[in-house]
Amino acid sequence: MNAKKMLTMAAVAGALTVAGNMAHAMDMAGMEKCEGVAKAGKNDCASGKNSCAGNATKDNQPGAWILVPAGTCAKIAGGNVVTK
């Protein structure tokens, strides 16, 4: 593979990475973390009790959170907005 082709491939890969990160940031806009309402195995990411998404061991596990539209968490019984 020649240097020009490798450089082009690297530039395309970099552009796709940046675009993906921007899309993720836009998805997060207007959302908030809501803990204490996730079903077992349905939490969005790490909490004090586990290391990654989908690892909550019981329904409404304290510390296990999901992303919800901003303002929604306060309307859910048992929901607490994660502010940290």
Q: Is the pTM of this model over 0.85?
A: no
The full 3-state SS of 1-67, as one line of letters, equals: CCHHHHHHHHHHHHHHHHHHHHHHHHHHCCEEEEECCCCCCCCCCCECCECCCCCCCCCCCCCCEEE
Q: What is the pLDDT of residue 41?
A: 84
DSSP state of 68: E
Domain ranges of the chain: 3-81
> 15-29: per-residue pLDDT in tens?
656 555 444 455 678
